[in-house]
Structure 1
Amino acid sequence: MRDREFCAADTIGGPMTGLRARQTIALVVGVVACAIALVLTGWLCGSRISLASLADNVMTSLAAVAMVASVITARTAHGRVRIAWAAMAIGLGSFTVGAVLWFVYRLTEFEHPYPSVADAAYLALPIATAIAMLLLSSGFSRTSRTRLVLDALVVAGSFSIVGWIAVLEDLWKSAPDDRLRVAVSAGYPVLDAAVLTIGVLVVARAHAGQRRTLALLTAGMAGIAISDGVFVYLTANQQPTDTALLYPGWLIGLVLFIGAALTGRGFAHREVIAAQPVSWTSVWLPFVPVMLASVAVFTQSPIDLKAGPVPVIGLMLLLAFSARQLLVMSENRSLLATVAEQALRDPLTGVGNRIVFRDRLSHAMQMRQRDGLSVGVLVMDLDDFKVVNDTLGHPVGDELLSLVAERIVGSVRAGDTVARLGGDEFAVLIEGRVDNSQLVAHRVVEAFDEPFIVDGQDLLIRPSIGLAVAEQDEPDLLAEDLLKRADIAMYSAKRSRAGGVHPFNAEMLLAETADGDLFASGPMPASRSGASTVRLLGELRQAIDQFELTLVYQPKFDLNTASIVGVEALVRWPHPKRGMLSPDEFLPLVRRYGLMGSITDLVVNQALDDVVRWREESLEVPIAVNMFAPSMADLRLPGKFARALADRNLSPSQLTVEITEDLFLDHMERTKTVLNQLQEFGIRIAIDDFGSGYSALSYMRDLTVDEVKLDRHFIAPIPADQRASAVVRAVLNLANELGLSTVAEGIETVTTAEWLREHGCNIGQGYFFSPPLTADNLRDILKKCERDASCRISGCSLRYGSCHWSESDVPHIELMR
């Protein structure tokens, strides 16, 4: 990501709009019309028009088209980009005027066409191109842009010396009274060399989205420079310049200028003033022509050198080169200062890093011992930031972190220190009175009331904030201890999910100390802190890698026939010290630390392997697996499931994917694509935990699903709450209208089961029928049911028939009496 202090980047324009397309077509038509006009002109004029005159006409037409293209591009741009293309339009317009004048000179057989007003018009083009390139360039500070101009002057001066010794000296001697002719002849290669130098250095530092336009401008100028050089050479040697071989460079250059104008639409200037690696081109480019000029000078006698302008040009070249080297030294010092400063800054957000925060905290604690002022440390962590990274991608997550840093900096006082400690964790050092710490902390909380706009989306994200203040009655409190207290308070805030600022208190420290005992004796909390979190996360990763997680299966029953119609796979973690852990006890770690993909692969493959084992005993059991909602935006998911089924020769209809509805679905378009592909393969889709999330009804409307599973908390109040009964009845009717199957979860009483059956619910599951079973126990039950057609797991109260099993037959089944 970008350094907020040194970078302010725009975006490159998108696809060509209809207006731009029409303008492009108009330009192409203009070029074709010019070509037709040229052919007709040559045919009408016959032998009076030479091939060189015809090339002059072509050049004039191309220059005019390039000028119009630049004008159109300038009209679509803004700011310095518009000024750049306006300069190009002026330069090309001047070139067009010069071409027209030169064409007229040839037709009228003007006696002395060189030098003339046409040459002044021609020389305006390289100047305009240089201005445009400087305006369109990116990555240059004011100092480096000045160095760029000095590099151009150094190269121009060097070529002036080489050109004088190689060509122009003879012209000077042959026409001692025509100094203007020599000056104009020298002006062409000197200006061209300077512009090409600027172009090469600008292209070398350009961003990918800008490089094409700048490269076309540089290449176009190179074509112009080649023909200019040939023209000057022919003129200096008093050879005719009406040959058509002189024109390819000019014509190609003008065509490239047209291409640059076309690609320049939508070009957005990106001013990035940041420490960047030095380009080798910028290092050696100024030295090569200086060396060539030195070699050329040594080939001449002192008398010849004194007779011309070489000493003056050499002095100017020396001054420019010296100024250039001084600027390089200045830039190097600035670069070293920048590197030293950035060593103390977070490269992503631009705020301080952990090193500078600890240094300033230690200094503040030392000043506290001397002056008695309080010191406060605020530590904050973004809730569900992992979800943002998993669903929207890490670039969006990085941009969100940068915006969060801006909000925090805008909320604190000028003297407070803001730092990013790592990941999505930030800290603020607050010095002064105790009430200042509270005030700043609450202002930071309020800064998150407005959503963040990232990648065109509104993201409302909340922080968990802990605050620790060093009181005056704790003179020996260390900086590390104060930071640890703020960290403990932050994790307390994260566990409570209550929002606001959580000041540190002694009870939090006691809870943290007792943490290990709590884990050893019972289930673990969803969120953990410190070394315990790291240790438990390592154990979980090891359990996933070594396939130590296991599955249990809860049967799903047809509420009309009481037959088993499928099972739901539920993951469990048989922890060696803490016993069997349910998903609620470790899935928060899975979601937070990006292990959901590994868990999904493990569950799907193990569940399908069990289906294969059941099939070997002639037991066909459809199976359902749970999917984390944001994972449904993974376009690779359908292919992975299809391969897993094909490898085991299983029908896709035996697999149902249940989307957990407790978290919102993002990237809805990609999610729809994934769901459609799954259904095309024959895999069923269900909305799990319906009624527990935020967008249940919109899911039924927008997503093509096959099944709706009513959450246990959604149906539990049915027997005693008429309003709850009415809502569930409405959902059942709606699902039936949409042709969706309905499954009720968590059925625990006969009254609930009977009510659901009477109101059209298709399938039920819960402890009233059966708790989750191991794969072997489920196999035994299915085989027993296959032998005994009248076998039912539930009691007789639902009029399903008599139960033929005793509790001893299936030890883990809790029969309803």
Structure 2
Amino acid sequence: MVVPFVLTGVLAVALAVGQGRGWLHLVDDLLIVALSSFTAACAVMAAKSAEGRQRRAWATMGAAIGAWALADLIWLICEHVLHIDPYPSPADVFYLAFCVLAIPAVLGLAQFDVWSRRQATLRIALDGLTVALCSFLLAWIFALHQVFDTYRDDTFALGLAVFYPVADIVILAVAVAVLARVDATHRAVPALLVLGFALMTVTDSAFAYAVAAGSYQTGSFIDLGWAGALVAICVASVLSRGDSPPRLPSVLVPSNTALWAPYVPLLLAGTIGPLMVMTGLLRYLVPVIVVAVCLRQMVAAWENRQLLRAAAEQAFRDPLTGLANQTLFYDRLAHALMLSSRHGHRVAVVFLDLDDFKLVNDSVGHLEADGLLVKVGQRIAGCARAGDTVARMRGDEFALLLEGEHDDSQLIAEHVVDAFDEPFLVHGEQILLRPSVGVAAAATREAQIAPHTLVGRTETAMRTAKRSRSSRVHVFDASCESAEPDIVAPQSVSVQNWPDGAAKIRLLGELRRALDDDEFRMVYQPKVDLRSGQIVGVEALLRWLHPRLGLLGPDAFLPLVRQHGLMRPVTDTVLDKVFGDAARWISGGVPMPVAVNLFAPILRDAGLPTALGQALGRRGLPAELLTLEITEDLVLHDFDVVTGVLAQLRGFGIRVAIDDFGSGFSALSYLRELRVDEIKLDRHFISTVTSDPRTAAVVRAVIDLTHDLGSVVVAEGVEDAATVAWLRDANCDVAQGYFFGRPIEAAAVPELVGLPAEHL
């Protein structure tokens, strides 16, 4: 950056003290050659550090300045080696090449919106034509008419003398038009180019005038104009290397500069020109008319700019929340990834989905739900930093684009989740919304990652977070790709006597919070051997210790759990608590078998046997102590996968039972297709075996069939001695129910060992 200023300073000193001395011409030419060569090298370095259109533009600029440097060298050789007149000479070929190459180089720095490149090109051409014609008019008035008069009879010399200032004017006009389209944050580089080409235009016009007048010679102060132009171009190329590439906007709203810049040359030409060449009233009337027309056009352009700004806001903003929409989000993400590949900045995306928002829509109506989305957007935006982009992607899904030197994505995601701890107020009810959040960052080694790929990773991580009970924020990793599918109950599940509307949404929000706050409790109901009367195991039953409603049984909340994809985190919680209790029983010398209800669709997870085996191993529990009960009234899909999972479970030593047998319509097919260890007869069958002969006949037949298949029969819901006697006579193996005892806390289970059933 210092070199061009030093060279220009030395040139200025030489011109000041060396007038009339023989060494001045050589020093002048050497300094100009050095300055143009250094500027060409800087332009080439700028091209190497740029990308895309910017790289092509600076490469072309490097070629243009290189042609200029070569022309300066030929000028020096002609003047000091060959001792011939350097103007005109072969140097002019390369000066002409500079003029031809500079125009596409400057055009390459222009910003175009992706929808109207042709229209933008036309606007630049018209603006450039306006600036060029007005500048030419001024140049003609002050200098070029003298050149024309001097070379009127020499066509070649006339063409060459006029070409340079005219070409400079065209380049300057294009540079001004490009500057008018560049946003304020990237205006320094094109502004320096405008300054450089303006100095070049003035200098070439002065040179042409001096040559025509016969007063120019090497070592004139005119040479400082070319030096200044080269310095401006050199500084622009150096600044471009540290400047981030401009983001290509989807719709470019013209800047204020774009409004007035094309009219400045017109104002100058329309006011100065008439004063110089006209007489009488026209000399003053024409400038007034030009000023009035220019002002009118600028007002119209300003109004159009306001309309375009409003249209751009509507096109790239979500109309409901006012946040960025999906189009703008992807546009900014693409630009951020480009900057990351160039400067190594961190780029991360946080993707957020509101759990159970469909229920909100169905319960409180779309109008209230839309108002809720507006409040959600405000809370998310309140967690973002200055410069981050918050967008509503679709429906109840939001995203944040985070850029910076450091990766704070997980911390910001946690802040977003914490912002939802405060309930929303809808219809006088406090609604607790819970978001599931996925985070993914672009790795430094993934310079070419596509925006949709990065967003896809955050969506995958979000779905993993939705399934997890341990965290509502999940950072994308390789395990997300192979994660098990979501488990959701069939839509046919019905709920009776439940609250509707906002109250139901509130209960669901509280249910999700219960998973985080450890509000679930396990109780255990004894299972009795009907032959010996001894306790042979317990069944784990889930309860919710609700802070507002007290202790709730599964019928009060399990349908919500099934319908809204919470069975996996609830099942994980149950298994964790049961394994912990069983481990404590064993440490106390009581290896009590325990049965756990398992949501049947979870059996589609091929990794379930391994996960359960590892969990039992960590607790030091024998696999044969665990019985998994499958609810029979839920339809099992992917039957081949399920039978394979059951075979692996039984291979590990884990027992499998069909729960509520007889409550559905596929009982016999289950017996035929599934190899299980126990059949648990539904309580509705058992309750009438002593009073209904048809029921008694069916139950007796099922008991005999189950024994023939090598399985154990367990009767549920036994509540009186007569039923116990009937079951014992029918050769039923095990029974449980209030007749033997109500569910008890885990701490009381060891006391059951050795007690006969009548003492419970």
Question: What is the TM-score of this pair, normalised by structure 1?
Answer: 0.39
Question: What is the TM-score of this pair, normalised by structure 2?
Answer: 0.42
